Structure 1
Amino acid sequence: MHTVWKGAVSFGLVHVPVKMYTATEDRDVHFRSLHKDCGMPISYAKTCRHCNKEIGQDEIVKGFEYEKDKFVIVKEEELDMIKDESAKTIKILDFVDLQEIDPLYFQKPYYLSPDMGGAGAYSLLLEAIRQTGKIGIAKISIRSKSSLAAIRVVDNCLCLETMHYPDEIRSLSQIPNLPASTLVNEKELVMAKTLIEQLSESFVPEKYTDDYRVALLDLIEQKIAGESIDMVSAPHAEGRSNVIDLMAALQASLDATTKPPAAPKRKRSTGKTKDNVS
């Protein structure tokens, strides 16, 4: 597994040397753009419209567009000068309860493993977080991007999950058509809550699959094998009705999710009847 970051986790004066690994992987099916006539991949060259020529990597600098078509150039050494300690240290600022963090803030998870000489301090931090039930809120810089991060325990591993800063979260006032109030019909509410209860299960991640990706990979395998592909549309969702009335829709949903009562067990016949009992 590729190491994406190397440094230390610090809380107080304690430093825990760690290596960081991506906890998830991209399983999307990616397509290349090909030339229709010959089937060769299309390359995307970096060109300058002013000089009308292709530009090499050593000729490219970073620029910030502060006005339309006006840029200020920022050099790599200038960026290095303003990097803070989070470039090599995951500094835990506070410990909080997980319930206090809205999932809206979370971005991407990473696994942390102890680096050389850090096993003892790593185990200490892991067990302290586990037993207190707290989540560490830290700062980290990955590939020149500063992020908030949450550090928690997953089984026997420290997991770091990058977070958005508060000013990166858009205000709900920008969202159109949100209801001004949540006044609802009491009977409909009772039925909706009952439906939620009937659909409630323990979370088992393995039961959820990317059906589109499975179908797409199957299609690709068929094409590789040279099989003919039948052009058929995806089936419509079963059991969908055109019920518009909310109460009727709730009742139909409840009826569809209600498990039929188990049939009563029949008593085993003894071969005797009331008339032949002596």
Structure 2
Amino acid sequence: MDLHPDVTAFFDAESNTISYVVRDPASTACAVIDPVLDMDHAAGRIAHDSADRIIAHVRNAGLTLEWIIETHVHADHLSAAPYIQEKLGGQIGIGEKILVVQETFGKIFNEGTEFQRDGSQFDRLFADGDSYQIGNMQAFAMHTPGHTPACMVHVIGDASFVGDTLFMPDGGSARADFPGGDAGELYDSIQKVLALPEQMRLFMCHDYGPNGRDIRWETTVGEEKRHNIHVGGGRSREDFIAFRTKRDASLSMPKLILPSLQVNMRAGEVPRDAEGRAMLKLPINAL
């Protein structure tokens, strides 16, 4: 908690995703967390505007990119990790349970044997409690399954990047009904986050501006414990599971879930057909 990394946020309005550049205050080293690749789904076109803003920031600040961290396999946007890595370097990291996600969705998308289900598309697979360096800063990864099996919270000094494990206090929590999700596991994972020091800064992966408020992405453990509308005030595990299960049954699928999963389980690489053309599949009645 004595270390206070510099955090710069980048909001993508199309997917309501917040990406981050996290800088070591004692050096030029930095990490990028959850970068977005722009996609026009109707036209089948990919663009790099969101990623280019991050790249420009890193270059203009004279930073050295050491890590590109994915908090989980996102279902609502495509990852720009390989594009940023090509421009700036760095290692791409994700939780080791990516193997479970690859196995599950490898079947759903009827991927052949050429699709490796061993996480080898990523440079580093994090286990629960693993640590890594960003310049002089030591970061560590907490396994927080529930939304997906591979979800991890990354703790860097007094800042934690929670992915979809939590939303802002008035946003609650993420859904747990995707393949491999589990509402009970999500509750347990949230309790791990809420056991961190109360002054710990928490940075969200998404915000939707509930009730018309301005978009926000930073809060604290203490605020979440007291005011989170889904788990705050000591809500029981049983009540949360019942609430989350009922709520999830009413939600539609994210509009980019099918392209996102195919790309993100490959560390951001778009799959290609036998002729080498970038190509996505559309499984019917699979989710």
- What band does the TM-score fall into relative to the shorter chain? under 0.3
Structure with the bigger RCO (C-alpha within 8 Å, sep 6+) is 2
Q: Which structure dedicates a bigger proportion of its chain to strand?
A: 1
